[in-house]
Each structure stands twice: as C-alpha cells, then as structure tokens.
Amino acid sequence: AQKITQTQPGMFVQEKEAVTLDCTYDTSDPSYGLFWYKQPSSGEMIFLIYQGSYDQQNATEGRYSLNFQKARKSANLVISASQLGDSAMYFCAMREGLSYNTDKLIFGTGTRLQVFP
C-alpha cells in the first residue's frame, strides 16, 4: 500500500502567487515525522520543512509552511509568494515508528511545480 500519496503530477503557478502541493500519508503509528524536499533541475535534494506528529502548530520555514491536518492524514506544503526559482520537483516523505532500527524514510512520487512570470 502506498504510504505517501502525491496526487498532483504537475502544478503551475504565477510568480508572486501562493501554491499548495498536496500530500496524504498512511500510517497506524501514532509517532511519525513528515518532510518536504525540493529537487531542482540540477538534481540535488534539498530539505525544506519538517512536521512531527505531536507538534501542535503547523511548521513554517520562511515562505514554506506545512498545512498539517492529522485527522485527514494530510501534510500539504504551502509556498507563498512564488518565485521563478521555486520551479522544481517537490517530494513529500515520512519517517514512522519508534523502533531503534526502524528509520525508513519513505517518499511520495513527487509534484513538478512550474512558476511562470
């Protein structure tokens, strides 16, 4: 079963507008962490933001915020004031389990965001 689902293969947004990238996850573990990574065309993976399952507030990092809805098992990434440099592939990922050895970081299939002037 897919643990991380990103239903938007591609998204377009105009520069300076906000955009939301969707991510839903599946876990029965009460303890887990959710991550977003950016992959520009150059190929490197860049960590953007993290949300823990017990965090009371939504995570924010500059123009990035994570809209965490625990009951719906969603962790959408919101990018405010989009810039041309935000054009990239975005991946949602999850780490679950408290077991010492269970540190699998599982990724979704990604959303390609294109920002146009």
Between residues 45 and 81, which has the closer beta carbon with respect to other proteins?
45
Q: Which of residues 41-80 bind other proteins (CB under 8 A)?
A: 43-45, 47, 50, 52-53
SS3 4: strand
Q: For residue 44, what are the contacts with CB-CB under 8 A and spacing of at least 6?
A: none
Structure tokens given for 37:
């990574």
Applying CB under 8 A, which of residues 31, 69, 80, 114 lies at the interface with other proteins?
31
Total chain residues near other proteins (CB under 8 A): 29
CB of 66 to other proteins, least distance (A): 12
Report CA 68 to chain centroid distance, whole Å. 10
